Amino acid sequence: MHFTINGERHEADPDIRTSLLDLLRHHLGLTGTKKGCDHGQCGACTVIVNGRRINACLTLAVMHQDDEIVTIEGLADGDTLHPMQAAFVKHDGFQCGYCTPGQICSAVAMLEEVKQGWASHVSASLDDITLDEAEISERMSGNLCRCSAYPNIVDAISEVAGA
């Protein structure tokens, strides 16, 4: 089977029951995406598939053969960090760092959702979405941080959203 991950074509022959997360980590050696709960509740395994954020632990790899998959390894451009990665470093948006790859992938995709006009549960308007603390917190609620770096994560996302 062929997979396009971070702009590169990869071949793998996973069992049909293999999750996208296990394909990335165990078959392709892309260990940036973390396995947290393995039940879709923590967001540590968040990757971007065709521009949308998903929990890689909840989807089968074989379902994504023709998709564009982006992991944390694919966001940077060589040694140049993605703006969201740089903002997380600047604002100390991580502590132990375990959830950070999923947080960053989720934040990058979330900003694209806002650009496309997708409202959230707390959006005050469907026409003009303001990324204030409540809006960012609601949109990132699927990504848990056990170290509680949430204020710094919101600051990092706010900086990139304002850029």
Report the SS3 class of residue 113.
helix
End-to-end CA distance of the chain: 39
| CB atoms inside a 10 Å sphere around CB 18 | 16
Query: Do 137 and 68 contact (CB within 8 A), yes or no?
Result: no
CA distance 32 to 98: 9
Q: Helix crossing, 83-90 with 150-162: angle to 10°?
A: 140
pLDDT tens, per residue, the chain with 163 residues: 999 999 999 999 999 999 999 999 999 999 999 999 999 999 999 999 999 999 999 999 999 999 999 999 999 999 999 999 999 999 999 889 999 999 999 999 999 999 999 999 999 888 888 999 999 999 999 999 999 999 999 999 999 999 6
pTM of the model: 0.95
The helix (H) or strand (E) run that includes residue 108 is helix 100-115
CA angle 149, 157, 154 (to 5 degrees): 35
Query: Do 114 and 97 contact (CB within 8 A), yes or no?
Result: no
